[in-house]
Amino acid sequence: MKIPRLTVVTLGVADLSKATTFYETVLATPPNNSFAGVTFIELPGTWLSLYPLAALAKDISPEVPLVHSGFSGVTLAHNARCRDDVIAIIERARSAGACVMKAPQETFWGGFSGYFADLDGHYWEVVWGPMFTFAENGELRLKDKG
């Protein structure tokens, strides 16, 4: 049986540059800026991702308003090992009562993802990305670009 893991906590931010500097300082960890428009802070077991708030809301659905919607700018993410796992996890969530916000689909950055809101309205992204791999212990890793 595979062990479920929380792999990334994404925070929607007003200013990516300022947020990156803030978290680099607070966590004393250098950010990974290998991909434009997003900052990854690689923490053991679970990473922190910083992403522009408006872009994050739009990625979930163009209908998600930024004000008074209950969307706080935070999503939780589970990185899957393949596209089929993304579909299976989203379907398990739907079966358990989650509201699927965005059906699994190809992304603009070359991955595959979908979103669901849990019973309390917390947003989860289930995602597979070609730039990611996993260590033997299941921790998320970026593949070498070379």
Rounded to whole angstroms, the Cα distance separating 146 from 74 reads: 32
pLDDT along the chain (146 residues), means of 10: 84 90 88 96 89 90 74 87 95 91 97 91 92 88 80
Give the span between the Cα atoms of 97 and 84, in whole angstroms. Answer: 20
- Amino acid occupying residue 51: Y
Tally of CB atoms within 10 A around 62: 8
Q: Give the pLDDT of residue 50.
A: 93
Structure tokens at 32: 């990974």
Give the model's pLDDT for residue 67. Answer: 67
pLDDT of residue 69: 62
Question: How far, in Å, CA of 115 to CA of 77, rounded?
Answer: 9
pTM above threshold 0.75:
no
pLDDT score recorded for residue 64? 80
CATH assignment, 8-142: 3.10.180.10
Q: How far apart are CA 28 and CA 125, in angstroms?
A: 27
